[in-house]
Structure 1
């Protein structure tokens, strides 16, 4: 009797519902649209530029809700007016662009904000950079080079939080930092 009940339950769970085309066809990893030579711009409610995403080719994949971009270039401006630039040969983003993976000559530049000196500029280069836009975090499990207004550092991997202004460099870390001039007594 238990086997009959289990078989009935299994049949109910696995029988397709009439008119349910999603159950009949499995999603394949194929783009539902492609854009070439595109530019996507978003603005704040007051009309200020928030972000601009440009690229050679963009494809959206509905099965994973991901976007792939070839020849990606991006520019973002935060509430304080600080500009962040990025570029790479390829980018892979989730649907809401909160996680972006840049690969192939990846480069992210955080320009100094209003009232900050040139030493506040930060540039990160590597073959792979993973950006988390909501938490302003950059990670890489591959070697990276960081350039600041005060010098240059190289590391085997990186985990950097811009909100906390803390970077964790791992692996073989080398660098050159310029001394800051001291005020005369």
Structure 2
């Protein structure tokens, strides 16, 4: 009889201890306020003045240098806004190409740059080819592919040929220039007439 009583008391105390521990844990969980999940907004989390970024190939050789007066990073979409953007594509087997704009948006870890405001692309003269000058209000630059394109109006000066149109794509690897909708083509008088880029077929610029 005494053994049964002692066992009953032990079981009751154990049950009370378990119940008390559960209640204390539940109370503590309800009493402590958890921080809500962080809501990412399009706000600056860091910035760099006079930033410089150099992209290299698999052998560690510099391919493209990008810089600007100020870079602001936004964590919600991992993009960066740059003021006074400048870029130089300089590979030994390709013509040197420079790009400048008042503003630029970099994303995809710098693999895509949307340049805005007084955009100018210049392929320097060399290897028997004249200088190529492209101007528009917005141009998308793919530094790794060495390609630039826009759907907006653009003015292209290729040697002695001046082309105005809407939509342009230039591939610095193949040297192909394509103007989608030509509205005006002007040849400098007295010069040898070069082949102007076709609206349908790309030309070697």
Q: Which moved more, 1:45-54 or 1:126-135?
A: 45-54
1:180 matches 2:192: yes
Aligned partners of 2:95, 2:166: CA distance in 1, in Å? 28
Aligned partners of 1:42, 1:166: CA distance in 2, in Å? 23
Matches within 5 A, 1:17-32: 24-32=37-45
Q: Which runs of 5+ in 1 are unaligned?
A: 1-19
1:137 matches 2:150: no
Judged with a 3 Å threshold, the aligned counterparts in structure 2 of structure 1 residues 112 and 96 are, in CA distance, closer, same or farther, namely farther
Aligned partners of 1:41, 1:48: CA distance in 2, in Å? 10
1:53–1:72 CA contact under 8 A, matched in 2:
yes
Aligned partners of 1:133, 1:109: CA distance in 2, in Å? 14
Q: Which runs of 5+ in 2 are unaligned?
A: 1-33, 194-205
Judged with a 3 Å threshold, the aligned counterparts in structure 2 of structure 1 residues 180 and 49 are, in CA distance, closer, same or farther, namely same
Higher helix share: 2
Partner SS state of residue 171, structure 1? strand
Aligned partners of 2:171, 2:88: CA distance in 1, in Å? 19
Is the radius of gyration larger for structure 1 or structure 2?
A: 2
Quote the RMSD (CA, aligned, Å).
2.7
1:117 matches 2:122: no
In the other structure, the counterpart of 2:64 is 51
Judged with a 3 Å threshold, the aligned counterparts in structure 2 of structure 1 residues 26 and 40 are, in CA distance, closer, same or farther, namely same
Aligned residues between the structures: 158
Query: Could you tell me how far 1:48 is from its partner in structure 2?
Result: 5.5
Partner SS state of residue 180, structure 1? coil
In the other structure, the counterpart of 2:160 is 150
The CA deviation string for residues 73-108 of structure 1, in whole angstroms up to 9 with x for no partner, is 111212426311110000011132221111000011
State the TM-score, normalizing by the size of structure 2.
Answer: 0.66
